[in-house]
Structure 1
């Protein structure tokens, strides 16, 4: 028995030595283009010409060739928790938010990021960020978390909303002080005075709303669970459902040149609305799973989701001009 054990030990040592001296494949150069289809993307931002994508495990990618290739940004410290949204204050100053109340800031158009806020005790996510001006920014998220910064994201203070700890998912507004916030259980909040006072609108839908878009001072669109899309032409006094023929959740949107928008979601859903919020087309892009975000880069529609970032297959909006029923 001892001889058998001794033989096995010698064999193990010999194999270890052989493995140690086997030739290894050369490591890929650090500046090789990153595979942007290997990371889940939660939000996109177009700066012209730069495009940024944020997503899982603290990933921040940037592209200077309209999404043809991507490079990883430097994030310090790297918490490796999901980032959910990104916004530009100007062409150099950017903010990104995510889980654990994480807030990052960049002063060089997204190549380098530093942490300005983090709270791993509660572990609750921030789900969105919106810039009212170059210095005033609002971040929002789970359980009614609502923060304001008046110094371009350097410091933050909490704001109170009477919403019974509902999750806040989307926000939009304009320079005239008209703003809206949407969230779970059909929550819609409206402000006419740049957020000094908020009014909860009567519920017109009992499911979660994930996004809100201001098309004009009067025309607004909101969307969310089970393919629900609603449009208002009187700043939220009345809402009408837009029938898109889709029962899958819708998660993100992009404004289109000349007005209108594209809304994307589960099952590679793509819904296009005109400048008044009326349905222009509804289709699916096969093989890309859940879409979370979109942005226009020149004439190209860039899409992000569980399979990373990719260009809409036709390379432009031509295929979205055809009305197609969901299958």
Structure 2
């Protein structure tokens, strides 16, 4: 009997080892739904009915059911470094930028991505990208890095800015040629001629600014460290600080539809809503979501991304905020 038991034990062990080392089919990327609460998200983008998310370790996620479920996009090659921003160039063309000067391009609304630029020697991150109209797109980031493409992201050339190697964090503008660029140590630059010439504005804040929003040709908003939010009604000639009431940093925003203003998100689930003229309408928090970096609107519903993944705002709508 003991011999029989011994043989059975040996057989189980042998079968277990054989199963562990047996070849298995390699999973196809994107076939299995992802747990987005396990991925840090740095950027969200809505393209038609599709929502995309970018984040840590080269994550590029796609949702075709309004953020309920997500699949992983195909990335070639996968560098496994953080992606920081997404931009829509139209005609199903998208760009993603990230650390190590990494730039990826998609021509099928984000299902597949191909590398067009990478620089692992410096290891410096790109922090944003902005569609400048037509085939032109700009990318920017750490230590004054500023690049332009005139062929929808296929080829890039460096542009010189007099920023003393400051990090460039956010850019916005309009078809009238007015643009504004913000960065660390209160850096604010503006252009009236589509970026041909840039003017550094007098400092009104010494901390880092992480975002800038164009509400109209005159009304602009900037925000950043320690809950600071500033509004200008004269394209940056003067700025007024808004009384937010907390010191949590603010990292991202979404422009609300129908002249609804802007919603800014940040650490501690912070929400700050301003109307279309930059007037403060609401300050609140989404409990339990940690640091928020980005947001998009799906109809009247808010989708937010951050350190704990992608979530729908539990109330389902921001329509009631600050009426």
- The alignment's TM-score, normalised by the length of structure 1, stands at 0.91
CA contact (8 A) 1:102 1:115 kept: yes
- Aligned residue in 2 for 1:7: none
CA distance 1:155–1:27, change in 2 (3 Å): closer
1:319, CA displacement in angstroms?
Answer: 5.3
1:17, CA displacement in angstroms?
Answer: 2.7
- Equivalents in 2 of 1:204, 1:268: separation in Å? 26
- Aligned residue in 1 for 2:304: 303
Aligned 1:193-204 pairs, distance under 5 A: 193-204=193-204
- Aligned residue in 2 for 1:70: 70
- Aligned residue in 2 for 1:19: 16
CA distance 1:279–1:14, change in 2 (3 Å): same
Number of residue-to-residue matches in the alignment? 311
- Aligned residue in 2 for 1:9: none
- Equivalents in 2 of 1:199, 1:23: separation in Å? 63
Instruction: Pick which of 185-194 and 255-264 moved more.
Output: 255-264
- Is 1:321 the counterpart of 2:318? The answer is no
Find the residue that maps to 2:241 and give its secondary structure. Answer: strand
CA contact (8 A) 1:47 1:91 kept: no
- Equivalents in 2 of 1:39, 1:279: separation in Å? 32
- Is 1:294 the counterpart of 2:295? The answer is yes
1:13, CA displacement in angstroms?
Answer: 8.5
Cα RMSD after superposing both structures: 2.1
1:16, CA displacement in angstroms?
Answer: 5.3
CA distance 1:138–1:17, change in 2 (3 Å): same
CA contact (8 A) 1:231 1:242 kept: yes
1:23, CA displacement in angstroms?
Answer: 9.1
- Aligned residue in 2 for 1:188: 188
Aligned 1:1-327 pairs, distance under 5 A: 17=14, 19-20=16-17, 31-259=31-259, 260-318=261-319, 320-321=321-322
CA distance 1:144–1:125, change in 2 (3 Å): same
CA contact (8 A) 1:90 1:134 kept: no
Deviations 1:54-99 (A, max 9, x none): 0000000011110011110000000000000000000400000000
Deviations 1:272-306 (A, max 9, x none): 11001111100011100000000111111110000
Find the residue that maps to 2:321 and give its secondary structure. Answer: helix
Deviations 1:18-66 (A, max 9, x none): 6325799x99975221111110000000012000000000000011110
Structure 1 segments, 4+ long, off by >4 Å, are 12-16, 21-24, 26-30
CA distance 1:299–1:120, change in 2 (3 Å): same
The answer for unaligned runs of 5 or more in structure 2 is: 1-8
